[in-house]
A and B are shown apart, each in its own frame.
Chain A
Amino acid sequence: EDQVTQSPEALRLQEGESSSLNCSYTVSGLRGLFWYRQDPGKGPEFLFTLYSAGEEKEKERLKATLTKKESFLHITAPKPEDSATYLCAVQGAQKLVFGQGTRLTINP
């Protein structure tokens, strides 16, 4: 059974303090690993798709990396507006399997 575990569950950082969020996964036949950002009361906003180990993608202060067992979402010099829940999901045969998310809070 496909599984996704995200850590930590919650993370508080000061503005400008860089850190990383972890997504560990097991899946039969990875078709894609997805990162989404979700603000309270809204649908997930697409950030990245990674398809193979060694792949990296960047967008503004965010950088996603992928190995055969886990993915990291690195956030560099975060700002308060980066506060949100970050969701990781893997797609195996068909459906997406989500992790529980990491609630990130950036204090000014």
Chain B
Amino acid sequence: GAVVSQHPSWVICKSGTSVKIECRSLDFQATTMFWYRQFPKQSLMLMATSNEGSKATYEQGVEKDKFLINHASLTLSTLTVTSAHPEDSSFYICSAHEIGNTIYFGEGSWLTVV
């Protein structure tokens, strides 16, 4: 079946640095990918919708200059957390929409900013 892969699964970075998370659809092409953030014991919070070849659409309250999203190809979207701070520590999850089919999620990436 369709698989979405995220990398890295875990990352620790120093405050003030930037970190990139990759989301790949492994056996299908995804014109649309979504990025979520999840806090402990809460549901997924949509951050932005990533469209291949165009600018991402950010949800209200999400800083586009802080969370840079690039959908470079039909199988790859990246989320870069710039100038990370401890409050950015969270579980980040991507999903990819297989056209005519369903929406699959990656395994998630744990970000810890120290």
Task: Tell whether, in the assembled complex, residue B102 and residue A46 are in contact, meaning their CB atoms are under 8 Å apart.
Answer: yes
The 3 A-B residue pairs with the shortest CB-CB distance, nearest first, are: A43-B105, A43-B108, A44-B105
A: interface residue count bin: 10 to 19
* 11 pairs, CB–CB < 8 Å, chain A vs chain B: A32-B102, A41-B110, A43-B93, A43-B106, A43-B108, A44-B44, A44-B95, A44-B105, A45-B105, A49-B102, A96-B46
Q: Is the CB of B102 within 8 A of A87?
A: no
Give B30-57 as 1s and 0s: 1 = Cβ < 8 Å from A's Cβ atoms. Answer: 0010100000001110100100000000
A85 to nearest B CB, angstroms?
A: 9
Known pairs A36-B105, A44-B93, A100-B42; list 7 more (Cβ under 8 Å): A42-B108, A43-B107, A46-B102, A91-B103, A95-B49, A96-B46, A98-B43
> How far is it, in angstroms, between the C-alpha of A96 and the C-alpha of B50 when the chains are bound?
13
Task: Report the Cα distance A82→B92, complex, angstroms.
Answer: 24
Residues of chain A from 4 to 59 with CB closer than 8 A to chain B in the complex: 32, 34, 36, 41-46, 49
Chain B 73-114 interface residues, beta-carbon cutoff 8 Å to A: 91, 93, 95, 102-108, 110
Known A41-B91, A43-B108, A46-B104: A95·B46 in contact at CB below 8 Å: yes
Q: Does B25 touch A at the CB level, under 8 Å?
A: no
Residues of chain B with a CB closer than 8 A to A98's CB = 43-44
